């Protein structure tokens, strides 16, 4: 089992920045992939970004490319999402997810472990 705990959400004005963190504990052998998903009110949960722990491969949702950066600190078993130039449409609950995989999946159903989510609200 893997436990994931997110933090760092909050309220920010449009154009501002936030950094989300996700700390993993429990079964943490490698290789595995970790990602960020988000769910806005009334919408389905969508992929935002993912990173593979072994080779640093990253994928991003097109609408966040150039604004969001996913990274990880292996020594701390922590995943980050640096979000810059935030827009009102980025408002959502952001979830951290993990899966033991040799590839880097971007679909929701591919991930086995999920955090509880952290709210990000961007005011216009």
**Would the pLDDT of 29 be above 90?**
no
SS3 92: strand
What are the tens digits of pLDDT across the range 62-120? 999 999 999 999 889 899 999 999 999 999 999 999 999 889 999 999 999 999 999 99
Q: pLDDT value at position 63? A: 97
Count the neighbouring beta carbons within 10 Å of the beta carbon of residue 119.
12
- The first and second tokens of residue 69, run together, are 């950066």
**Would the pLDDT of 30 be above 80?**
no
Q: pLDDT value at position 31? A: 63
Q: How far apart are CA 110 and CA 41, in angstroms?
A: 23
């Amino acid at each position: 089992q893997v436990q994931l705990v997110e933090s760092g959400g909050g309220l920010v004005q449009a154009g501002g920045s936030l950094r989300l963190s996700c700390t993993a504990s429990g079964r943490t052998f490698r290789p595995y992939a970790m990602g960020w998903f988000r769910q806005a009110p009334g919408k389905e949960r969508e992929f935002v970004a993912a990173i593979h722990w072994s080779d640093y491969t990253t994928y991003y949702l097109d609408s966040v490319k150039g604004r969001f950066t996913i990274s990880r600190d292996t020594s701390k078993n922590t995943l980050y999402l640096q979000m810059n130039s935030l827009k009102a449409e980025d408002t959502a609950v952001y979830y951290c997810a993990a899966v033991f995989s040799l590839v880097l999946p971007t679909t929701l159903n591919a991930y086995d472990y999920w955090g509880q989510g952290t709210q990000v609200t961007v005011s216009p």
